[in-house]
Amino acid sequence: MTNASAETKNDAPKRQRERIYKTAARLFAENSYGAVGVAELCAATGFGKGALYYHIGSKEELLFEVMTRYMVDLVEEGRRAAAEDATPAERISTLSRKLVRSVFDHLPEMTVCFRELNSLGPQNRAVVSKLHLDYQRIWEAALADGVAAGVFRPISSVELKGLLGMYFYSFLWIKPKGPQGPDAIADRYAEIVLRAVAPS
């Protein structure tokens, strides 16, 4: 068995889980976590109850995955962006594009994340909060580098939370097929951030 075929073989469960997550995110967003039963998840994904539990563990585990996967990706992408050779303004631009693209790609996940935080147990909820804090730290580091380089003014945590809120709130009004694509919106928002941190 070659590595390639081993990868293909291991990819099948991953793709199946992916399909379950996407379907669950859509169902939870359209209705609510509490209103969607395992039977409905089985019907929508085409899995039997046993196979579904094999893939997801439990319904709360599924909710947790829906709420965390896009944040894990954002944190990983943000850390990769931090390692790239770029000016502070270019890093803000990159973070901005990755964040708005993530909003475009994860509208149901974000809807669920903001609505169902209380449906998670305290341990899982703490992980979600930690991920959001880790993500905020990536922006803080990018802004701090700009301050160190003398090209940004320092801003407070409240101001950064506001600027990130500008992005995260957008899941409420972004239409994936709307007139403006993610990069166009991201570039406008990066400009707002850069104006906010421009030395006075």
Helix axes 107-115, 3-30, angle to 10 degrees: 60
- Give 66 or 185: the residue with its C-beta nearer to a second copy: 185
What is the pattern of x (binds a second copy, CB under 8 A) and - over residues 100-139?
Answer: --------------xx--x---------------------
**121 φ, ψ to 5°?**
-70, 165
Contact between 28 and a second copy by CB under 8 A: the answer reads no
Tell me which of 49, 180, 181, 199 binds a second copy, using CB under 8 A: 180
- What DSSP state is assigned to residue 25? H
Tell me which of 13, 154, 165, 181 binds a second copy, using CB under 8 A: 165
Tell me which of 43, 172, 181, 199 binds a second copy, using CB under 8 A: 172
Nearest of 177, 89, 168 to residue 132 by alpha carbon: 168
Contacts of 118 (CB under 8 A, 6+ apart): 125
- Give 12 or 158: the residue with its C-beta nearer to a second copy: 158
Nearest of 184, 188, 68, 57 to residue 134 by alpha carbon: 68
Contact between 173 and a second copy by CB under 8 A: the answer reads yes
Nearest of 93, 111, 114, 113 to residue 185 by alpha carbon: 93
Which residues would be at the binding site for a second copy (CB under 8 A)?
A: 31-32, 34, 114-115, 118, 156, 158-159, 161-170, 172-173, 180, 185, 188-189, 192, 195-196, 198
